[in-house]
Structure 1
């Protein structure tokens, strides 16, 4: 049984849900223009697990993440972060929930150019008036390989290094869950592989929970599990994915040929 730095056994944590959707529905528009983006989706994201969400364009994968993260409203059903029900929360309560319990990593790095890497990492906590846990912060910095880059500003960092800063920022406040939306979309294959490796390591070594939306089968192969959406519904769910397994399922779902292994970040084979 693996134990995290806090003494919480990973195997035990993995039996609980960090986030849960029950019959989650999201509808845009009305009448003839109505679009059902999510159609009664029920899914759990386990603690200390790396989950990838995939599906053809328009399948609802980004909508699911945005609703689960409290970034978009819900038309019906339920969404929970831990034991907190998102439906019915006021804007101020949602803001506090996102600040205290959720970490975000986006395709755009969203770093402030005038701040150093360290200042960008601690910025959300500074805004909230909270001091970082120094031991935890040091461990996060070591995990993402930024110890010698903390005084550099974004313009002095490569794209991969900037995304590592964004990953460290998401990890620094010790959120209950991290949502990552196409985190390697702006990176070359080598930098993308590094960032995916760091996300993978944050689960294995820090006991973090990560949910990542991606279109890339190779990126998905870094996850412990892949959930597939089509037409707003979950249509498949596989554990221990390889890039080839994911590619085949995406081919069947879309009828197209997604990016083949070897053209993106170097995939995992486990």
Structure 2
């Protein structure tokens, strides 16, 4: 188990009063379709969702439910078929390639499931690469805190080939956080970590939300990881089918079991 402290039971999400919370990212009637004709697959089907500033959201659902596709579309890493995606007040579809690249570099952090590290660079160089490209210097105190939290202090001079899968994942997480982006999208960030390292990483993401009003959106299959979030959004067949606030691992697991049971009987 990642978390040992007691926390409140999960409950259905309730909308915040209008105008009280800023929205970091929003999808409206978002659809994503791959292929044509008989090979056409609808990955996302008219999804509308908001991710509030200073909130930690977990996205869960069965394999193939559209979790990673939703994150890629909302981060501007994949095009959409119809609908709208916004980061703050910026409509992504209205941006050219150069503008979109700059927005992703300056305002979005992304933790890829496949790491996406450059093999010729050291761990430290991979971590600071987005800032280097932007011509910005990292906040040394924050960089040291991030590196220490993800357990890379003794590995900064190593290249990806000299690191384990879990260590490469930590480099990817550190890279996403070092630039202090407005919103961090994380695709299974604890997938290659042991339980202790996973707990430390999730605790750090939780603290970045609390202390810095960071916005974190995380895809996960793990109910314990999801219990660190303020809210869990459940997807199935490309649609949002439920939400939960103040989640616990047990409440999330029960909800997932209910979805599985419904899928077998439908």
How far apart are 1:249 and its partner, in Å? 1.0
Q: Does 1:96 align with 2:83?
A: no
Offset at residue 182 of structure 1 (A): 1.1
Q: How far did 1:194 drift? A: 2.4
Deviations 1:94-126 (A, max 9, x none): 211111111011223333454443322211111
Q: For residue 92 of structure 2, what is the aligned residue in structure 1?
A: 86
Report how far residue 158 of structure 1 moved: 5.2
Give the Cα separation in 2 of the matches to 1:65 and 1:14.
25
Q: Counterparts of 1:14 and 1:132 in 2: how far apart (Å)? A: 32
> 8 Å contact 1:109–1:166 — kept in the other structure?
yes
Query: What SS does the aligned partner of 1:73 have?
Result: coil
Unaligned runs of 5+ in 1: 1-12, 258-270
Structure 2 gaps, min length 5? 1-18
Q: Match of 1:77, SS?
A: strand
In structure 1, the residue matched to 2:70 is 64
1:210 paired to 2:216: yes
Corresponding residue SS for 1:87: helix
TM-superposed CA distance for 1:153, in Å, is 4.6
Tell me how large the CA RMSD over aligned residues is.
Answer: 2.5
- The 1:148/1:206 distance shift into structure 2, 3 A limit, reads farther
CA deviation digits over 1:42-81, x for unaligned, max 9? 1110111110001112211111111101111111111001
Does residue 37 of structure 2 align to residue 31 of structure 1?
Answer: yes
* Structure 2 Cα separation of the partners of residues 161 and 194 of structure 1: 13
**Residue 133 of structure 1: which of 120, 135, 139 is its match?**
139
Conserved 8 A contact 2:150-2:197: no
- Please name the residue that 1:119 is paired with: 125
User: What secondary structure sits across from 2:93 in the alignment?
Assistant: coil
- In structure 1, what is the Cα distance between the partners aligned to 2:32 and 2:165? 34
- In structure 2, the partner of 1:5 is none
Going from structure 1 to structure 2, the CA distance change for 1:188 and 1:158 (only over 3 Å counts) comes to same
Residue in 1 that maps onto 2:116: 110
Q: Size of the alignment, in residue pairs?
A: 245
CA offsets, 1:150-199, max 9 Å, x none? Answer: 44555665554443332221111111111101112222333222222222
Give the alignment's TM-score, normalised by structure 2. 0.82
Q: Which residue of 2 aligns with 1:226?
A: 232
Q: Which has the higher contact order (CA 8 A, sep 6+)?
A: 2
